[in-house]
């Protein structure tokens, strides 16, 4: 369902809308019937529900964003607790910089 979410998010942004439009206006669903994810409810003011063709044209951008969010989660876990990071910075900022850069280099975004 995440891939459909990112496609719809890209569609919203391409049409001057924001991710906040999801809150009460869009419901994505999967009925576990083999037909995959779909838009069950669409109530975005001033914007028609996208066709499959429109959503599929956004696949590369949505895939990139989906992948980058996975990288962000990995990095966030590897960075560790913010309190520990602040302590590390206080003790030796160069050690902290090197550790963070190594994490970024090992987990590059698209």
Which phi and psi angles does 102 have, rounded to 5°? -65, -40
**Number of Cβ within a 10 Å radius of residue 62:** 21
Q: Span 16-29, mean pLDDT?
A: 88
pLDDT at 2: 62
- Angle between the N-to-C axes of helices 2-14 and 59-79, in degrees from 0 to 180, rounded to the nearest 10: 110
Contacts of 4 (CB under 8 A, 6+ apart): 28, 37, 38, 39, 55
pTM of the model: 0.59
pLDDT in tens, 25-59: 999 999 999 999 999 999 999 999 999 899 888 77
């Amino acid at each position: 369902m995440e891939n459909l979410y990112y496609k719809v998010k890209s569609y919203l942004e391409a049409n001057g809308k924001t991710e906040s439009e999801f809150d009460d206006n869009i419901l994505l669903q999967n009925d576990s019937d083999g037909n995959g994810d779909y838009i069950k409810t669409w109530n975005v003011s001033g914007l028609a529900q996208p066709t499959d063709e429109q959503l599929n044209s956004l696949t590369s951008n949505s895939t990139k964003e989906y992948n980058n969010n996975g990288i962000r989660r990995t990095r966030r876990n590897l960075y560790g607790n913010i309190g520990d990071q602040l302590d590390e910075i206080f003790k030796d900022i160069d050690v902290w910089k090197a550790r963070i850069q190594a994490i970024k280099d090992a987990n590059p975004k698209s």
